[in-house]
Amino acid sequence: MGGTHKPNILVFSPIQTEVDAYADRIRNSGFISVKTAKTLEEAEKYLPGTEVILGWNFPTQLLCKPIASSVRWFQSMGAGVNDLIADQSIPQNITLTRIMDQFGAYISEYVFLFLLDIVKDGPRMKQSQLERRWDPFISETLKGKTIGIAGLGSIGAELVRKARAFDMYVHGLSFSGKQATLVDLHFTPDQWGEFVKDLDYLVLTLPLTNSTYHIINQDLLLAMKPNAYLINVGRGALIDEGDLLSVMREGHLQGAVLDVFETEPLPKEHAFWSMPNVFVTSHLSGPSTINEVSNFFIENLKRFSSEQPLSGMVDRNRGY
Amino acid sequence: MGGTHKPNILVFSPIQTEVDAYADRIRNSGFISVKTAKTLEEAEKYLPGTEVILGWNFPTQLLCKPIASSVRWFQSMGAGVNDLIADQSIPQNITLTRIMDQFGAYISEYVFLFLLDIVKDGPRMKQSQLERRWDPFISETLKGKTIGIAGLGSIGAELVRKARAFDMYVHGLSFSGKQATLVDLHFTPDQWGEFVKDLDYLVLTLPLTNSTYHIINQDLLLAMKPNAYLINVGRGALIDEGDLLSVMREGHLQGAVLDVFETEPLPKEHAFWSMPNVFVTSHLSGPSTINEVSNFFIENLKRFSSEQPLSGMVDRNRGY
């Protein structure tokens, strides 16, 4: 890497141990000009001269101020960047990147845990053990069931691959259609009703954009089979949660697995927590682990230093 | 099928609804000479003239009596036939067959349910929901872990296929070595110690034979990594259960998933039921569903009628 430019880097996260861990890994990779901040005040202090930010919950209102004029690139620690895109205080000349291709394993393992728990009736197995009851019941199989994957990016593609290994029928819906050949049947965004009507499981891996906000509403939910399952590992606001609640209370849908919500953390009093056929988890299906985010960022730093195109470039117009 | 011989068939199971369901399916396939029995007395009554038995928990002591002299073929409803092979009252001239290739989907889905529940910490997710607690913890992934599969028959091969889709390292041990190329590293039965020492998960899919009885004993368990998991979907007596208990009570092994036991049903007072790191299920991972067993048997009946070799032939010397 002789002759490349090594930029001044600021790592921001409200969690002290995290910023330290990131800074260590970045320095160990040969980029030694790394500052860390976990509060707005610390960020203000270190922004002058900073060219690159690796951030989570960054006080973005600082980015349109003169102290941030040297910032050229903001790397988010997450995959979803709808907040950053909507944020008017981030100047357009700052390049935004998001983490990509790191979440396929995590999210697909999460999804298949729940698919298998549902189809094999894991809860009944555990209840039988609690009661010391010999209970050799026969469950169904994923084999032969139909899964629909909305969003065929790196996460969707990984779900397709695993669904194949389970001998499922795989339907997909995507905006670009670039990955249409991955699936048995491909649908476009004007075909949502057709897409959902034959599915045993609908998995949402879409980004949140103007075109996907509340895309799952009462009409679409009622178009699904009454015994289908809805699984959301994308963003909470893909679903109109009020519609989902009322439809499920009327007995439509066999269940839902929700890892993301319109309001996070999900409020303590929310009905989802206690519905027997709703599995609630805490936005943990695709965690930004320090190792994986560091590796992604360091690879991107090398590209930045040698003026190659960055991975995970965000297109503000496209919305992700 | 003109000119083929349609034999007299006896379907035996202690469960009335099962024998009726099998008999219906067999008759509907064109083999109309079907009797059913669910007790020793009924079997005695219908055995004279019977050429083919489809049976589960059959009173085998009848088979060496003159009333059974017309029996030429016994199709078991299960995959494991160690009991039938050991049974001295079954004449050697009765052909024994077992169900094959029907259990791969069932058993591999069962195994991956537990692998994912363990690695993603499904129980913690469910506990957090019970407590309405937002708890975005980071779990590990199957990706990058090493699974060892003992037995590379149709069930083992299906496990290999799914393990690949989860980007696991796959080691295998088999007696014949015929499927050695399926796995990253293959071991033979003289290499058990080498085989188990690097595994995160050891899955047993072996048949029970003289060479595999109590193959998993204290020495082998102690050769495993202290944080490894043992999963048994083969036969209970593959494991010396006393050794497993004492080794786990000393804190070796992180957990065990046991679907089969030396004594089934597992006695109510058995320690396994209440050990926090032992998952007990009721020999349900590879159920003989009526549809699948019927289909297998009817295909075999067609072969029998046209004097073609049967599927699932048991070799009494080999032991399965």
Find the length of chain A. 320
Q: What pLDDT, in 10s, does the model give residues B299-311?
A: 999 999 999 999 9
Tokens in use for B105? 């989907």
Range B33-54 burial, b when 16+ CB lie within 10 A, else e: ebbbbbeeebbeebbeebbbbb
Distance CA A112, CA B291 (A): 26
Confirm if A314 and A300 have CB atoms less than 8 A apart: no
Contact A233/B at CB under 8 A: no
Q: Is the pLDDT of residue B291 over 90?
A: no
What is the model's pLDDT at position B16? 86
Distance CA B99, CA B78 (A): 5
Under the banding of pLDDT at 50, 70 and 90, the label for residue A241 is: very high
Q: What pLDDT, in 10s, does the model give residues A99-142?
A: 987 789 999 999 999 999 999 999 999 999 999 999 999 899 99
Under the banding of pLDDT at 50, 70 and 90, the label for residue A26 is: very high
Q: Higher confidence at residue B78 or residue B263? A: B263
CB atoms B141 and A109 under 8 Å: yes
What is the model's pLDDT at position B3? 54
Confirm if B79 and B99 have CB atoms less than 8 A apart: yes
A140-144, Cβ contacts within 8 angstroms, sequence gap of 24 or more: A141/B105, A141/B106, A141/B109, A142/A115, A142/A116, A142/A166, A142/A167, A142/A168, A142/B105, A142/B109, A143/A167, A143/A168, A143/B105, A143/B109, A144/A168, A144/A169
Q: What pLDDT, in 10s, does the model give residues B31-54?
A: 999 999 999 999 999 999 999 999
10 Å CB burial of residue B202 (0-12, 13-18, 19+) is buried
Please state the rounded mean pLDDT for residues A18-25.
94
Q: Please, what is the average pLDDT of chain A? A: 94
By annotation, the residues of B acting in catalysis are 235, 264, 283
Same topology, domains A9-101+288-305 and A104-280? Answer is yes
CB atoms A162 and B167 under 8 Å: no
Contact A17/B at CB under 8 A: no
Confirm if B232 and B204 have CB atoms less than 8 A apart: yes
Q: How far is B142 from chain A (nearest CA, A)?
A: 8
CB atoms B166 and A282 under 8 Å: no
Distance CA A58, CA A73 (A): 13
Contact B265/A at CB under 8 A: yes
C-alpha distances in Å from residue A96, one per residue of A38, A76, A198, B227: 20, 7, 38, 41
Q: Is the pLDDT of residue A49 over 50?
A: yes
Give the residue carrying structure tokens 């009726």: B20
Please state the rounded mean pLDDT for residues B174-201.
95
What is the model's pLDDT at position A2? 46
Q: Which residues contact A295 (CB under 8 A, 6 or more apart)?
A: none
What is the model's pLDDT at position A80? 83
Q: What pLDDT, in 10s, does the model give residues A158-173?
A: 999 999 999 999 999 9
Residue spans of the domains in chain B: they are: 9-101+288-305, 104-280
What is the model's pLDDT at position B1? 42
Q: Which residues contact B162 (CB under 8 A, 6 or more apart)?
A: A165, A166, B108, B112
Q: According to CATH, what is the number of the domain B9-101+288-305?
A: 3.40.50.720
Mark out the alpha helices in chain A (DSSP H runs): 16-28, 40-46, 82-86, 104-120, 122-130, 154-165, 192-196, 218-223, 241-249, 290-305
Q: Which residues contact A293 (CB under 8 A, 6 or more apart)?
A: A22, A54, A77, A99, A102
What is the model's pLDDT at position A109? 98
Q: Is the pLDDT of residue B13 over 90?
A: yes
Q: Is the pLDDT of residue B4 over 80?
A: no
Q: Which residues contact A118 (CB under 8 A, 6 or more apart)?
A: A229, A255, A257
CB atoms A113 and B122 under 8 Å: yes
Classify domain A104-280 at the CATH class level: alpha beta
Residue type, B238: L
Q: Is the ipTM of this structure higher than 0.95? A: no
For a pLDDT cut of 90, what percent of chain A falls above it?
Answer: 85
**Which of A264, A299, A316, A318 is labelled catalytic?**
A264
Distance CA B202, CA B215 (A): 13
Give the residue among B247, B213, B253 at the shortest CA–CA distance from B229: B253
CB atoms A282 and B137 under 8 Å: yes
Q: What pLDDT, in 10s, does the model give residues B227-267?
A: 999 999 999 999 999 999 999 999 999 999 999 999 999 99
Distance CA A166, CA B203 (A): 18
Q: What pLDDT, in 10s, does the model give residues A61-82?
A: 999 999 999 999 999 998 888 8
Distance CA A266, CA A272 (A): 9
The residues facing A216 across adjacent strands are: A239
What is the model's pLDDT at position A3? 54
Please report the residues numbered 120 through 149 in chain B whose beta carbons come closer than 8 angstroms to any beta carbon of chain A: 120, 122, 125-126, 128-129, 132-139, 141-143
DSSP secondary-structure letter at A79?
S
Phi, psi at residue A181, to the nearest 5°? Answer: -70, -10
Identify which of A113, A120, A138 has the shortest CB distance to residue B289.
A138
C-alpha distances in Å from residue A237, one per residue of A99, A207, B167: 20, 10, 32
Range A273-308 burial, b when 16+ CB lie within 10 A, else e: bebeebbbbbbbbbbbbbebbbebbbebbeebbeee
Q: Give me the sign of the Cα torsion angle B12, B18, B20, B23.
A: negative
Identify which of A119, A135, A165 has the shortest CB distance to residue B165.
A165
Tokens in use for A109? 């393992």
Q: How far is B66 from chain A (nearest CA, A)?
A: 36
What is the model's pLDDT at position B91? 94
B121 three-class SS = coil
Q: What pLDDT, in 10s, does the model give residues A173-198?
A: 999 889 999 999 999 999 999 999 99
- Please name the helix (run of DSSP H) or strand (run of DSSP E) that holds residue B202, with its range, or none: strand B201-204
C-alpha distances in Å from residue B29, one per residue of B15, B26, B71, B307: 22, 5, 21, 18
- Other CB atoms within 10 Å distance of the CB of residue B141: 18
Q: How far is B110 from chain A (nearest CA, A)?
A: 7
Q: Is the pLDDT of residue B2 over 80?
A: no
What is the model's pLDDT at position B17? 86
Give the residue carrying structure tokens 């439509």: A252
Give the residue carrying structure tokens 């003169």: A66
Q: Which residue of A has its CA nearest to B271?
A: A132
DSSP secondary-structure letter at B209?
-
Please report the residues numbered 86 through 125 in chain B whose beta carbons come closer than 8 angstroms to any beta carbon of chain A: 105-106, 109-110, 112-113, 116-117, 119-120, 122, 125
For a pLDDT cut of 90, what percent of chain B falls above it?
Answer: 84
For a pLDDT cut of 70, what percent of chain A falls above it?
Answer: 99
Under the banding of pLDDT at 50, 70 and 90, the label for residue A317 is: confident
